[in-house]
Structure 1
Amino acid sequence: MMQIGSAVWTGLAVMTILLLAQRDVGCGGMTLNSVPLRSVSLRPLRDSVGTSLQRHKRNWVWNQFFVLEEYTGDEPLYVGKLHSDVDKGEGKVKYVLNGEGATSIFTIDENTGDIHATKRLDREEQAYYTLRAQARDRATNLPVEPESEFVIKVQDINDNEPKFLDGPYNAQVPEMSPVGTSVVEVKATDADDPTYGNSARVVYSILEGQPYFSVEPKTGIVRTALPNMDREARDQYLLVIQAKDMVGQMGGLSGTTSVTVTLTDVNDNPPRFSRKSYQFAVPESLPVASVVAKIKALDSDIGPNAEMDYRIIEGDGLGVFRVTTDKDTQEGVITLQKNLDFETKSSYTLKIEASNRNIDPRFLSQGPFSDTAMVRLTVENVDEPPVFSSPLSKMVVSEAAKVGTMIGTVSAMDPDTTNSPIRYSIDRNTDLERFFNIESTTGVISTAKPLDREANAVHNITILAIESMDPSQVGKGVALITVMDINDNAPVFAIEYETFLCESVGPGQVIETISAVDKDEPPSGHRFFFSLTAETAGNMNFTLRDNKDNTASVLTKRSGFQRRDQSMYRLPVLIVDSGTPALSSTNTLSIRVCDCDPDGTPQSCGTEAFMLSAGLSTGALIAILACIITLLVLVLLIVTMRRRKKEPLILDEDRDVRENIVRYDDEGGGEEDTEAFDMVALRNLNVVRDSKARRDVTPEVPTLYCSRPPPYKITPDNGIFREFIWDRLKDADVDPSAPPYDSLQTYAFEGSGSVAESLSSLDSLSTDSEQNYDYLSDWGPRFRKLADLYGHGDSSNIFSS
């Protein structure tokens, strides 16, 4: 009984402790300290029949411990106590704590098993800690109980206010919305434990924005609270919404956010003109399509709800004016459709309506969404330039018209009431050659020069009409004058014909078909008549047949044409036109006699071709032509080289070719002191020798004549030159050291009667100099005729072959 009673009491104690430990005792944010659960040792029980019932011993019986967050005391916070039934209080057992926060946050008294928290805890950072406890033998450090796991839960307090994480808010709602229209939903969050107490239970309220808006306390939905809120009166509201925890009770924490509500526009306002009538002045000279005036109806709405259309619904200006809408400014733009005339009508009246383009049916009961206004347009008189009765006057005149012939008349008048007299003149920029005149007061146009239709068939001239009272007012008209044709041009061959006649042709064959042209243009078209002239009508060679279609055929009357007898025939052809009076001309057709192939194609024509083909072959003709061209090139080159005395005769510096035959006028200087002889002196036999000009150095200023008086003059005869040139040619023909290329050689002929006689080194070779003075080129026998020609002349320039 004693054992059973002890067990019952022990069980009751455990159950009581469990109930105390598990229940929530918080009230108004206050909680009790945690209640530790001591271990209980359950001894084995026997049943009524004496059978021993064995139960496994549970060494540790735990519940979770609770510790209050945000503890701010000076001493460590007591959490709970651990105890093993192995511990008999003899000090042989020690308690060890491991796991999250062991030793750093939580400590345990190894003798008593008391657990303390050494740091301030925050549930929002970590809500619970999992630890492991073990009882060990103090002497051997061996576990006397298996390791067990328990939890220390951080108990929440209301230390976090609600926060609007998405705030501040911006929302829109249409104006004129009914009461209760949802605007926006706000949401606040509380970091406290929503499962414990009311720390995280939030309610909403509106601090600013009443009476226009309200907020649902539980959901945070903001709604309209007043009807017919008008955007045109106020378009934006700023609300302040509060969220408070602890279900709004006293002592709860709160947070706020702002909500900006913008009223969007609806078409609830019709357009309205600021005035019922408008008046504008319009000059009568305003061009068509010009803007006359702008009017605007005001609409309190914005965007598409303010778009409107304008139209003319009444007035005497229908058809003269039109009104359109400027899409950017929503103005009514009045434009001119027809020309205005002050003298005809001086004012117009328009009734213009402006109406909304987009109508909201909800507001049709308020009345029509349109408005009207009267517009009066006054036409202003403007001094206008003269106006021609016809802007374009067409006239005709014969090209045979004499100077002074009247062609036509133009007329203009002043459209203004002043009716100023008009003076006429021709814009000479359109009549540069002054073919026409105009009478200044009557506007009569006449010819001033003879006209030629073939040169200019149409004259487009501008006529100026000037007000006598105000010369700045000038009107312009156009006179289109067409020149009528007369038969003043004789017909001629249409082209320059090249007619060939084969030697093998027979009688009656057509060798050419001719046609004609005439610069005139008769109204009924051209008709030409062809015939042979009276002198050649009876010839025995050719005849002419008029084809009656403005062409004629030339036919042979015999056969047996031979080039050697006559290579060309000239056939005069008479052409007569159909004009009144008729004009005619004689045109000569040249006919060449040719040698033709069997198909009748000319091969060679004329006497020259016959002679060449009879005596020489084609290759020979080409060779002769090449020789002629070569001679022409040589002559041109000689002339060019004579004129270009400044330039070296041979440009290639590498060529060792001597340019001249040297002479000496003094006794000193040696062979190196040489001077070129100017060939111009040989062209004039009476010219003075130049004793200073050098050919081996190009002078800066060419000198043709020596400035000092010469010691003597020469007047050689042609025989001496001829003999000199032939001697030089003979030497060149047998000279083995002549240059192997063509070169221009200049020989200075000293002539006879020299004071110093000849000191030339032509017949000697210098052995002590690097230069080779034996430089006469091989001229070749091909140019002996050319040498002979120069021998009779006044020059000694010779080309080597």
Structure 2
Amino acid sequence: MLVESREIHHTHSRMFERALFALCLLTLVLFQSAASCELRPVLAQVPKRLPAGYVIPETKDGLSLKGCAAKPVAYTSSDPDFTVNTDGAIITVHGLEITTKQFSVLVQDENGMDWRVDIILSCKDEASQKSSSVALKRTKRRWRPLPFNLVENDKPPFPKDLETIASDSSVNYTVYYVISGQGVTTDPVGLFTLNRNTGLLKVTRTVDREQYPQFNFIARVFDMSGRETDEYLPITVIVQDQNDNAPEFIGGRFFTVEERCRAGTVIGKVNATDKDEPNTPHTLIKFTLHNATDMFSIDSFTGVITSKTNTLDRETQDKVYVEIEIRDMGGAPSGHFSRGTFVITLTDVNDNPPTFKEKLYKASVQENQENVLVTRIPVEDKDLVNTPNWKALFEVTKGNESGNFRMETDPKTNEGLLYVIKGLDYEKTPLVKLEITARNEAPLVGPENKWLSVPLELSVGDVDEGPEFNPDTLFLKVKENVANGTVIGTYKALDPEKKNSDGIKYYKMTDPGNWITVVENTGELKTANTLDRESPLVRNDMYNITIRAVDESKKTGTGTVIIKIQDVNDNIPMITNPDPILCNKGDTLSSVLVEAMDLDRPPYSIPFIFELGADHDGSWKLKDTTDSSVVLEQTMPMPNGLYSVPLLVKDLQGFGKEQTVNVRVCTCEREDNGGTCGARSASSSLGSLGILALVLSGLLLLLLSLLLIFICSTKRDKLYINDDTGTGGMLLKSNTEAPGEEVKEGALMIIPGIGLDVVDGSLQSGLMESKNVTTASGRYGQSFFQGGGVYNTTTQEFGTEKYYSSGRYDNNLYGNATMQKLTNASALDTWKTNGRYLDRKLAYFGDEEEGRYADDLLKTYGHEGMGSPAGSVGCCSIVGEQESLEFLNTLSPKFRPLADVCYTTNRTGN
């Protein structure tokens, strides 16, 4: 009974609620005006997977604006995944998968009003699609409420009822509800309250959507024992936007554009924003220009500013202040708006040429003045100061054909400065008319603009001037070699004021060759010396002099006389290579090129005529004649020597003389550059120098002989020499006439045991490098006086090879013991050392005090051949009669074999 009474109670409650709802709905309809109505969200269940083009027909009624006075005419979806058909049905744009989906559709009615309708899509419950038996066994219960909507800025009184939430578990249990989360227990706390028993949700105060676009909290349901009878329900409260914010400007407010830009030039973009909900009429901003509409325009929905004309003029107005309005609701009168001022700066272009302040300028200057400022010419320019569009450049466009003027610009005042750089002549032009043109550094813009010019009259003041030659430069033609005193011309000057030459005297200023004299009173020019065209003072046949004219007031003027000297035939051709070299090629005939030169010019020079002289012997002939050369060729082979060939050379006019060409025939070392003779052979004549050399060589040999006699007759001290050299005697044993293969070029005899305490300078000089003390040279020989001995060297030339022969004759046994630099450079030094060693050893064996005569000792000698006219070469044969000098008579044949040992012959090339 209790349960039944409870059910009856609930049934009555529901009936009461429905009646109350119908009454409220009737009241709302009655009080609704024709211009407004309230729309509820559209709820629809759809499959979890929606293919592209899926139609949700349940949305037609929700978007039809039922209960409103106007009908819908356009729909706009806030979600790009969905679009709205013209009948109000929502269609998917592409396939997608959802669990829940919430978006809004903007509905525009026929009166231009916009309405927002929230669309809430949820997946179909698969369990509800099963059989009824399965449905009775469900364990999960569902809440009936869906997301709620709340209008921002709602007017009091508060609290206001929002929605009622209920759980299906309330059918079986007595339950109560609890909410928590954003707007309830967290900031903003207490915004929402809930009737625990009925589930009625209320809002307690005004909400700002721009601060809180939606709220998310949860609702839970419990029975009286505190057990949760259903899963908690996430609740979303969407705050519906109202157009409560005016649009605002963002970004800069300054723009620039060139003056005279073409129409349609983009100047800049005005940016604005609106805090209301995006993509709704509340944020649809329209831009409107309120002034300067004849100069600029602005796009209503992009805010781009463009120029409207091509006549923007910076000089008229360089800054334009434009007022721009931005209004939401697409510019509807009911929309909120803001206004702002923007600055558009016009930049300068050169659209204004410099203009002159006067129509005619006048100035004056004294004649003959140079590099002086004549006048200043001011100009005006409307372009921006101190820019290339403003800075002026001036030019004399007429009247400056002679280059008398120069124009500059004063950088501070921008005035034109006219200078005279070359003096003017009052007598010629007392008044000079000029045209001055002014330009800018930058090019001029605009086809209608052009550079401007102004006339200027310059008066030239008269000054008493010196005489002037007319012309400034006088040209005269004179043949060279004319007689002295010949009048070649007259050069007079005029007084500029009097226009005559009265009282003017003439003087010569420059005359490099002193060839001309000037008659003082008449200005006549006469030759004073021979005019020579071939002189180095003449260049390109021109000879210059300068003349000075002096009037009675001592004022002067100068003039130049250029004399063109004409050529005459005053030079004959001369051979330039009178001593050629001809290379001897044996039986082959050779030739040599002979060249000539004439200082005159054609027709007084080339082509030359070459002929052999009358006294030629027929050994030569001429061939291959050119304008200035001829080939001289042998007619028969000739031995080496010097040959004189008479050669007659004449110019084109037949003037010339016979000249001698001395041809040297020789054996050439090189044949380039005309050939180079080699050294003369020994068979050639000696000449004076050769004879002198032979005489000197004979005298040196005589002196050497006397030195040897003196050495042999001089008493000598004892000298002990260790004779353990193992040489087998004084001479090397050899069966050949020349050194054997075992003998090296560097040392033909090795002398051991010779120390510095025994061997003195005379012996060391053979082992060491000798220093020349005195040299007597000749053509065929040279004598060297060295250390303690004299060495004679004779050189003979045979073709290109030289032969040297030398002999050594020592006149000092002990000599100078000074140490010299050791060297074994040549076999000649070795032979010198060997000779000194043999002399010392002979003296040792010839010592009488010890009784060791050379004839008491057994010596070993090699076989000397078939016999010798000199007999024995032993030392004992000459020491037996040591006290007598008669051995000198037989010294030569006995000495020759021993001297041959020391005699060396070196063959060297050049």
TM-score, reference length from structure 2: 0.47
Could you tell me how far apart the structure 2 residues matched to 1:177 and 1:452 are? 78
Say whether residues 1:398 and 2:480 are aligned partners: yes
- The aligned counterpart of 1:130 is 216
What letter matches 2:562 in structure 1?
A: A
CA distance 1:223–1:488, change in 2 (3 Å):
closer
Could you tell me how far apart the structure 2 residues matched to 1:348 and 1:230 are? 40
Could you tell me how far apart the structure 2 residues matched to 1:546 and 1:204 are? 108
Give the counterpart of 1:11 among 15, 18, 27: 18
The CA deviation at 1:570 is: 3.1
Alpha carbons 1:354, 1:370 under 8 Å: kept: yes
The CA deviation at 1:391 is: 1.4
Alpha-carbon deviations, 1:282-312, whole Å to 9, x = none?
6665899x99988677676889999999999
SS at match of 2:236: strand
CA distance 1:267–1:224, change in 2 (3 Å):
same
Give the counterpart of 1:781 among 825, 831, 843: 831
Could you tell me how far apart the structure 2 residues matched to 1:450 and 1:784 are? 81
Alpha-carbon deviations, 1:641-677, whole Å to 9, x = none?
xxxxxxxxxxxxxxxxxxxxxxxxxxxxxxxxxxxxx
RMSD of aligned Cα (Å): 7.6
Could you tell me how far apart the structure 2 residues matched to 1:734 and 1:319 are? 104
Could you tell me how far apart the structure 1 residues matched to 2:306 and 2:332 are? 24
Could you tell me how far apart the structure 2 residues matched to 1:500 and 1:588 are? 16
- The aligned counterpart of 1:497 is 580
Q: How does 1:241-320 map to 2 (within 5 A)?
A: 241=324, 255-262=338-345, 274-281=357-364
What letter matches 2:831 in structure 1?
A: P
The CA deviation at 1:609 is: 4.4
The CA deviation at 1:127 is: 0.5
Question: 252-261 or 385-394: which moved more?
Answer: 252-261
- The aligned counterpart of 1:679 is none
Alpha carbons 1:425, 1:440 under 8 Å: kept: yes
- The aligned counterpart of 1:191 is 275
Alpha carbons 2:469, 2:491 under 8 Å: kept: no
Give the counterpart of 2:469 among 384, 387, 408: 387
Give the counterpart of 1:236 among 311, 314, 319: 319
CA distance 1:101–1:279, change in 2 (3 Å):
farther
The CA deviation at 1:278 is: 2.5
Could you tell me how far apart the structure 2 residues matched to 1:247 and 1:153 are? 25
Give the counterpart of 2:457 among 376, 387, 405: 376
- The aligned counterpart of 2:247 is 162
Alpha-carbon deviations, 1:195-220, whole Å to 9, x = none?
99x98798989999899999999998
What letter matches 1:386 in structure 2?
A: E
Could you tell me how far apart the structure 2 residues matched to 1:605 and 1:216 are? 105
Alpha carbons 1:172, 1:262 under 8 Å: kept: yes
Alpha carbons 1:67, 1:152 under 8 Å: kept: no
Could you tell me how far apart the structure 2 residues matched to 1:591 and 1:214 are? 107
The CA deviation at 1:342 is: 2.8
Question: 161-170 or 370-379: which moved more?
Answer: 370-379
- The aligned counterpart of 2:605 is 525
Question: 585-594 or 320-329: which moved more?
Answer: 320-329
Q: Percent identity?
A: 20
CA distance 1:10–1:444, change in 2 (3 Å):
same
What letter matches 1:571 in structure 2?
A: S
CA distance 1:188–1:388, change in 2 (3 Å):
same
Give the counterpart of 1:410 among 491, 494, 510: 491
Size of the aligned set, in residue pairs, is 612
- The aligned counterpart of 1:584 is 657
Could you tell me how far apart the structure 2 residues matched to 1:728 and 1:605 are? 59
CA distance 1:733–1:337, change in 2 (3 Å):
closer
CA distance 1:190–1:546, change in 2 (3 Å):
closer
CA distance 1:211–1:445, change in 2 (3 Å):
closer
The CA deviation at 1:477 is: 1.6
CA distance 1:66–1:723, change in 2 (3 Å):
farther
CA distance 1:510–1:267, change in 2 (3 Å):
closer
Alpha-carbon deviations, 1:600-627, whole Å to 9, x = none?
xx99999964949xxxxxxxxxxxxxxx
CA distance 1:250–1:13, change in 2 (3 Å):
same
Q: How does 1:445-594 map to 2 (within 5 A)?
A: 445-450=525-530, 452-456=532-536, 457=538, 458-468=541-551, 474-482=557-565, 484-487=567-570, 489=572, 491-492=574-575, 494-499=577-582, 516-521=596-601, 523-525=603-605, 528=609, 530-532=611-613, 536=615, 542=619, 567-568=640-641, 570-573=643-646, 575=648, 577=650, 584-590=657-663, 592=665
SS at match of 2:276: coil
SS at match of 1:10: helix
What letter matches 1:13 in structure 2?
A: L
CA distance 1:83–1:584, change in 2 (3 Å):
closer
Alpha carbons 2:257, 2:267 under 8 Å: kept: yes
Could you tell me how far apart the structure 2 residues matched to 1:546 and 1:221 are? 99
What letter matches 1:781 in structure 2?
A: W
Alpha carbons 1:412, 1:422 under 8 Å: kept: yes
Could you tell me how far apart the structure 2 residues matched to 1:106 and 1:728 are? 147
Could you tell me how far apart the structure 2 residues matched to 1:270 and 1:518 are? 69
Alpha carbons 1:286, 1:340 under 8 Å: kept: yes
Could you tell me how far apart the structure 2 residues matched to 1:105 and 1:239 are? 44
SS at match of 2:248: coil
Alpha carbons 1:490, 1:585 under 8 Å: kept: no
Alpha carbons 1:487, 1:581 under 8 Å: kept: no
Could you tell me how far apart the structure 2 residues matched to 1:581 and 1:136 are? 152
What letter matches 2:431 in structure 1?
A: S
Could you tell me how far apart the structure 1 residues matched to 2:175 and 2:11 are? 29
CA distance 1:300–1:390, change in 2 (3 Å):
closer
Alpha carbons 1:467, 1:474 under 8 Å: kept: yes
Could you tell me how far apart the structure 2 residues matched to 1:199 and 1:104 are? 27
Alpha-carbon deviations, 1:557-602, whole Å to 9, x = none?
8x7x785xxx53633515364699965344153464889xxxxxx9
SS at match of 1:571: strand
- The aligned counterpart of 1:743 is 769
Alpha carbons 1:96, 1:136 under 8 Å: kept: no
The CA deviation at 1:733 is: 8.6
Alpha-carbon deviations, 1:61-86, whole Å to 9, x = none?
3561537569999x999977755575
CA distance 1:610–1:347, change in 2 (3 Å):
same
Alpha carbons 1:492, 1:585 under 8 Å: kept: no
The CA deviation at 1:135 is: 0.7
What letter matches 1:443 in structure 2?
A: G
Alpha-carbon deviations, 1:478-515, whole Å to 9, x = none?
4234264453557446553334677758xxx8966756
Could you tell me how far apart the structure 2 residues matched to 1:175 and 1:501 are? 95
Alpha carbons 1:323, 1:332 under 8 Å: kept: no
Give the counterpart of 1:443 among 519, 523, 545: 523
Could you tell me how far apart the structure 2 residues matched to 1:311 and 1:3 are? 111
For structure 1, which runs of at least 5 residues remain unmatched after alignment?
32-53, 362-367, 596-601, 613-627, 629-715, 750-760, 766-770, 788-800
Could you tell me how far apart the structure 2 residues matched to 1:162 and 1:208 are? 20
Alpha carbons 1:309, 1:357 under 8 Å: kept: no
The CA deviation at 1:7 is: 4.9
